[in-house]
Amino acid sequence: MKFRNFKMVDYVVYGRGSFDQVDEIIAPRRKDGQPMVFLVDHFFENKNELISRIPLRGNDKIVFADVTNEPKTTYVDALAKELKDTYGTVSGIIGIGGGSTMDLAKAVSLMMNNPGSSADYQGWDLVKVPGVYKVGIPTLSGTGAEVSRTTVLTGPVRKLGMNSDFTPFDQIVLDPALTQGAPKNQAFYTGMDCYIHCIESLEGTFLNEFSKSYGEKALELCREVYLGREVWDDDCDDKLMMASYAGGMSIAYSQVGVAHAVSYGLSFLLGTKHGVGNCIVFDHLEEFYPEGVKEFKEMVVKHQIDIPKNVTKGLTDEQFDKMIDVSLGMAPLWENALGKNWQEQMTRERLRALYEKF
């Protein structure tokens, strides 16, 4: 097909306090004897303010998602197996947390109905059967995982998403109050994922008016909250949640670029997390995104954020080669950033020199 035909999220509710509407929203999707499973970021394990508001009915269950590491196919498979062994099937999976928890929720939903391992479905359009009903409720803003048609997983051989028309959520609940109180550095790294999505999409060769409209709006919101305000207030959380949504919509019809391609290498080798990894890389990408990097540095200074340094110091040639392999494997990202002849521009030597800066 020449033009992409996007499967999007079916239902969206937005608003401060909208979390309290979850009970009503999911009621029609409940099936007799089959629980709703709330997959909740382990950060909230002892946070009764949130846990007490989860609308448990019948044999519903809360499962805390261990997101110490970003999602792995083995973890997805284990979660799905446990639910299948215990209940046969479930009415739905409701992911409450950051991008990692939302990705886990999407992947577990798919693996409730698809045979084999989630690793078999890392790639494009390999998933053939819809998952169980799935709901995404972000508690950090920035990744756009709430709207995307992928779920990024680290498997035995690759870090790659289960990209498919069955991957997007059936429902998302955007309640900015849930992001309140996240640690400053973490919230910034995740927020910058959105900012970087905007720059990479808007400066990419795949750009069209659809992506541009969303990307420009998301960028405007990021600028306002990170540079236009003296204090961070509720309005900033409200805006950043919509920036994340719009940023995700922007890359849905374009692609990310250099920062993502390079940070995937760091993440694969060193386990560097997505948000902070993007920040480590983007900080050194003046040659690709001069204006964006300048503005990013202003935001870092204004918000007094620590960007880790010397993360590739002392790595062996073999380790650099591994990162370079992983990164150059992300062809669509490079093509979006540099154009069709990207391979002539981004040689292994140039990429190695870039990795040595981090």
Closest CA to 274 of 254, 256, 260, 285: 260
Chosen residue from 114, 160, 274, 328 binding ligand NAD by CB under 6 A: 274
Binding segment toward ligand NAD, per CB under 6 A, in 73-81, 146-154, 327-335, 340-348? 146-154
Residue type, 210: F
Q: Which long-range contacts (CB under 8 A, 24 or more apart) does 112-121 make?
A: 112/80, 112/83, 112/84, 113/89, 117/73, 117/77, 118/73, 118/76, 118/77, 118/80, 118/153, 118/155, 118/162, 119/73, 119/77, 119/153, 119/155, 119/156, 119/157, 121/162, 121/164
Cite the beta strand spans of 42-122 per DSSP E: 61-65, 92-97
Contact between 151 and ligand NAD by CB under 6 A: the answer reads yes
Decide which of Zn ion, ligand NAD, none touches 98; Cβ closer than 5 to 8 Å per partner kind.
ligand NAD
CB atoms inside a 10 Å sphere around CB 241: 26
Alpha-carbon span 192 to 173, nearest angstrom: 21
Write each residue from 158 to 187 as x if it is in contact with ligand NAD (CB under 6 A), else as -, in one continuous string.
---------------------x-xxx--x-
- Smallest gap from Cβ 247 to Zn ion, in A, equals 9
Catalog residues that contact Zn ion under the rule CB under 5 A. 193
Contact between 351 and ligand NAD by CB under 6 A: the answer reads no
- Smallest gap from Cβ 8 to ligand NAD, in A, equals 13
- Smallest gap from Cβ 129 to ligand NAD, in A, equals 20
- Smallest gap from Cβ 90 to ligand NAD, in A, equals 21
Q: Which residue ranges make up the site for ligand NAD (CB under 6 A)?
A: 41-43, 67, 70-71, 97-101, 103, 139-140, 143-145, 148, 150-152, 179, 181-183, 186, 190, 193, 273-275
